[in-house]
Chain A
Amino acid sequence: MMELENVTLRLNGVELLSLSLVVSPGEVVTVMGPSGAGKSALLGYVSGTLSPAFEASGHVKLNGRVLDDLPPEKRRVGLLFQDDLLFPHLSVAGNLGFGLKPGPNRARIIEAALADAGLAGFGQRDPATLSGGQRARVSLLRVLLSEPEALLLDEPFSKLDPALRAQFRNFVFDSARQAGLAVLLVTHDFEDAKAAGGPILRVGGLDDF
C-alpha cells in the first residue's frame, strides 16, 4: 500500500498541488490535470527524483516504510516515462539485467520475462532495432524485473499510436495487477484514466475538461 500524506508542491513560491491519497496493491489511482499542473513533479517527489527547483512538503509511505529521505535507488518504486529510455549502449537483455538484482538463473529469468511479453529470443538485439511497441514492452519489463513495490506511470502511453496504445495500456495494467503493485498514473488523457478503472483525482486548472 502506498500512502501520500499532505503532499504539497510549490514552484517559485506558487502552490501547484496539494493532495493526500492511498493506493492499495493491485489498484490504479489516476491523477489528472493539464500540463504544468505539477503531475510529473508529483511522481518526481514520490520517486525521489524531483528537481531542486521545486519545494515540497509531506510524507510518502510504501508498505509501512517512510520514503521521504531515501535516495531513489532505495525506494523500490518503479517509474515508466513518456519515452522508453532504454539504454542505447546495452542489448535488450543487458537493459533487463541492469534492473534485475544479482542472483542465480538471471539469464533464464530474463528469457522467461521476454517470452511472456511476446519477445522470445530478443535478448541479444540492439534496442534501436526494435519497434516502438516492442521497446515500450521491454521498458516495462525492465521496471518489473527490478521488483518494485509501487509503479508510477508518467503518461507512458502518450507517444504510442492509437492501436498500440490500448494494447500496451492493458499489458501494463494487467502486469501490475498480477504483481500486486500499487499504481499511480498521471495523465491528461481521459481515455487512459477510464481504462485504468480506479479512482480519479483532478488537479490544477480544470478548463481543459
Chain B
Amino acid sequence: MNGTNAIVRADGIFVRASALLASGLLLGGAVAGLVGTLLAAFGYFPPLGQEELVFDHWAKLMAIPGLFDACLLSLTTGFFATALSFLIAMVVLAYAHDTKGFGVLRHLLSPLLAVPHAAVAMGLALVIAPSGLVFRLAGLDRPPDWLIVHDAWGMSLMAGLILKEVPFLFLVSLAALPQLRPQPQLHAARMLGYGRVTAFAKVILPQLYGRIRLPLLAVLSYSAAPPEMALILGPQDPPLLVVMILRWMNAPELDLRMLASAGAVLQLGLVVGLIFFWRGLERLAARVGGVVAVSGDRSRLELPLRFGGITGSVIFGLVLSLAFVSLVLWSVAASWRFPELLPPEFTLIHWARALSSAAGPLLTSLWIGFAVAGVSLWLVAASLERPESRLMELAIYAPLILPQIAILMGLQWLILPFGTGGIWPAVLLAHLLFVLPYVWLSLSGPWRGFDRRYEQAARLLGAGRVRVFWRVRVPMMAAPLLTAFAVGFAVSAGLYLPSLLPGGGRVLTITTEAVALSSGGDRRVIGIYALLQGAVPFFGFALAFILPGLLFRNRRGMRGA
C-alpha cells in the first residue's frame, strides 16, 4: 500500500466519531425505546414498583371493548391512505413530469411538504365540517346533519393523510427519477405508440419502485398510526389503536401506562404485519405487471388514468386552497354564522389574544428546531463523508418505519428515574431520531454529488483538510446545507408525539398546543394556531432561500446550486 495513504478524504477521527455517534443515536434510541416499551408491556415497570414479568396487561388489553375494530381501522386507514397516495403521486408524476407546467407544480408542492400534519388536518376539518366552506358554497341553508369529520370509517382521516403524503411521495420520486435517465426510454416507448401515462407505468415505474420503497413503507407505517391526524380527523368510537393508547396515557390511573405499552407493542405488530402484506402485494403486482407490460396493450388504461389523475389533482388543489382560505377567514372572523359565505365582520382581537399565549410555545418550538436541526446537520455531514453502509441506511430508516409510539413510550419510561432533569435530553433525543433521517434524505444527494476535484485542486494548492472543508466544501455547499437545515427545522416544528411523550406533557410546543386546542371547538383559535403552526417551518425555508443570495450576490456560479 505504499504511496496510497494520502488520499483526499476528510475522515479524520472527528468525522469517524461523529458518524459513529449518528448511527449509535439512531439505532440506540430506536432499540432502547422498543425494549423499554416491551418491558413495560410485560409488567416490568420499576417506577410503579413492578419488577416481575407478567401477562396481565395483555389479558386486559385483549378484553378492551372495540379493540378489534380499532386494530382493523388502523390497518385499513394505513393501507388505503398509502395505496391511494401512491397511486395519485405516480399518475401526477407520469402525466406531468415532462410538461411545461411541471416546474410550477413542483414549486407548489414543495412548501406543502413543510406544513405539519396537524395544520393540514385542522384546515381540512374546517373545510369539510357540516358548517364548513364546502357546504356554504353548496348553498344549503342549514348545515347537513352528517358526521363528516371523525366519521366512523376513517374517510376524513384518509383524506387528510393523502393531502400530506402525496406531496412527500411525489417529491421523493422526483428526486430518484433523474438517476434512471427516464427521457430516452420514455421517448422510445412513446414512439412505439404508448401514451404518456402507460409508457411511464410500463417502463419507468418498475425501475423507480425499488428506489422509493423505503419512503413508501415509512408512509405506510405512519398512516397506520398517525397520532395528531387521528385525534383531529379520525373516528372516535372506536378510534384508531393509537388514539386508544394516547387515552390510556392521559388517564390518571398509573397502571394504565402498562396497558398503553402493551397497546404500543400491538401497534408495532400491526405495522409489521402491514409491511409483510404490502411486500406480498408488491410481488403479486410484479408478476401481474410483468405480464401486462409486455402484452402490447397500449391504450386501455391511458384515458382512465389520465382522467383520474387530472380530476384527483384538481380536487386536491381545490381542497387545499379552501382549507387555507377557511383557516384565514376563521382566524379574523368576528362571527360567522352558517349560510354566510364570508364573515360579515373582521377583527384581529383573537390574533392579539392568541399571540400572547402562543409566544411561549412558539419560542420552545424555535429553539428545539434550531438545536436539533443544527446537530442533525453536523452528524449527517460527517456520516456522509464515510463510505455508504447498510448499517447507516438501517439506522436512517428504523425511526421512520417503526411506529413512533412504540419507540417513544419506552424512551419515556427509561427517563423516569432521572426525574424532570431527564425531560429535555429525552425530548431533544426524540426529535433527533425523527429529524436526522429527513436531514439525511435532503443532504445526501447534493453532498455525495459534489465534484471532489475541487477538493483535490484545493489540497494541491497547499490547503489542508480542515481548510479545504471550511473554505471550499462548506461555502460551495451553502445552499444544500441550508435547505437541509430548513427541512430539519420544519420536521422538528411539526412533531407531536416526540414532544408530548418524552416531555411528559410539560413541554409545550406550538404543535402540542395546536393539537390540544383543536378538540376545543373554538374555530377562531383553531384557525390561528393552525396558521401559526404552518408558518413556523417557513421561517427556516425563508432563511435557506435568502441567505445564499445575500452571501453570494456577486457570484453567478453559486446561483441555483
Residues on A lying within 8 angstroms of B by beta carbon are 45, 47-52, 54-60, 67-73, 75-79, 81, 83, 85, 87-89, 91, 98-99, 101, 126-129, 142-143, 146, 148
Contact = CB atoms under 8 A, between A and B. Distances in A.
A143 B461 contact: yes
B99 interface: no
12 contacts: A45-B3, A47-B456, A52-B9, A55-B4, A58-B2, A73-B463, A79-B457, A79-B460, A85-B457, A87-B475, A98-B463, A143-B461
A47 B275 CA distance: 50
Given A48-B6, A54-B4, A68-B3, A85 B461 contact: no
Given A45-B3, A49-B8, A129 B556 contact: yes
Contacts of A54: 4
B455 to A, nearest CB: 9
B506 interface: no
B354 interface: no
A59 B454 CA distance: 26
Interface string B251-288: 00000000000000000000000000000000000000
B461 A89 contact: no
B460 A127 contact: no
B557 A126 contact: yes
A89 B3 contact: no
Contacts of B457: 79, 81, 85
B534 to A, nearest CB: 34
Contacts of B462: 73, 76, 99, 101, 146
B204 interface: no
Contacts of B475: 87, 89
B290 interface: no
A101 B461 CA distance: 9
B461 A69 contact: no
A136 B561 CA distance: 22
Which of B4, B475, B478 has most A Cβ within 10 Å?
A: B4
Which of B451, B475, B554, B555 has most A Cβ within 10 Å?
A: B555
B3 A58 contact: yes
A48 B455 CA distance: 12
A70 B461 contact: no
Contacts of B558: 88-89
Return the 4 tightest CB-CB contacts between A and B, nearest first: A88-B557, A128-B556, A99-B461, A128-B557
Given A73-B463, A73-B464, A51 B5 contact: no
A203 B471 CA distance: 37
A55 B3 CA distance: 10
Interface of B: 1-9, 451, 453-454, 456-465, 471-472, 475-476, 478, 552, 554-558, 561
A67 B4 CA distance: 10
Contact of B2 (A69, A72, A85, A148): A69
A87 B476 contact: yes
A70 B6 CA distance: 6
B456 A56 contact: no
A48 B8 CA distance: 7
A57 B556 contact: no
B7 A48 contact: yes
Contact of A50 (B7, B454, B458, B476): B7
Contacts of B459: 48-49, 71-73
A87 B454 contact: yes
Contacts of B471: 98
A56 B463 CA distance: 24
Contacts of A45: 3-4
B461 A142 contact: yes
A97 to B, nearest CB: 10
A69 B6 CA distance: 6
Which of A58, A75, A83, A98 has most B Cβ within 10 Å?
A: A98
A127 B453 contact: no
Contact of A85 (B8, B454, B561): B454
B408 to A, nearest CB: 40
Contacts of B465: 71
A85 B453 contact: yes
Contact of A49 (B7, B463, B464, B557): B7
Nearest to B475: A89
Given A49-B460, A71-B465, A85-B457, 6 more contacts: A60-B3, A70-B6, A72-B456, A73-B462, A126-B557, A127-B557
